[in-house]
Amino acid sequence: MNFVIVGCGRVGAELSYRLFTGGHQVVVVDSNKKAFNRLHPDFRGRTVEGEALSTDTWSRAGMDTVDGVAVVTNSDTMNAVIGHTIRTHYPQVKQVLVRNYDPAMREMLEAFGLQMVSSTAWGAERLQELLIDPSFRAVFSAGNGEVEMYEMFISPKWHGMTISALLNGCAGTVCAALTRAGRAELPSPDTKLVSGDILTVSATLDGIKSLRARLQEAEA
pLDDT in tens, 47-93: 999 999 999 999 999 999 999 999 999 999 999 999 999 999 999 99
CA pair distance 191, 178, nearest whole angstrom:
9
Answer CATH for 2-120 from 3.30.1370.160, 3.40.50.720, 2.60.40.1890, 3.40.50.880: 3.40.50.720
SS3 147: strand
| CATH number of the domain located at residue range(s) 132-219 in this protein | 3.30.70.1450
* Reported confidence tier of residue 41, pLDDT bands at 50, 70, 90: very high
Would the CATH topology of 2-120 be identical to that of 132-219? no
Confidence at residue 202, expressed as pLDDT on a 0 to 100 scale: 94
pLDDT in tens, 91-123: 999 899 999 888 888 887 788 888 888 888 777
CB-CB contact of 201 with 211 (8 Å): yes
64 burial via Cβ count (<10 Å: 0-12, 13-18, 19+): exposed
Domain ranges within the chain, ordered by starting residue: 2-120, 132-219
pLDDT in tens, 145-188: 788 899 988 888 889 999 999 999 889 999 999 999 889 999 99
Confidence at residue 153, expressed as pLDDT on a 0 to 100 scale: 87
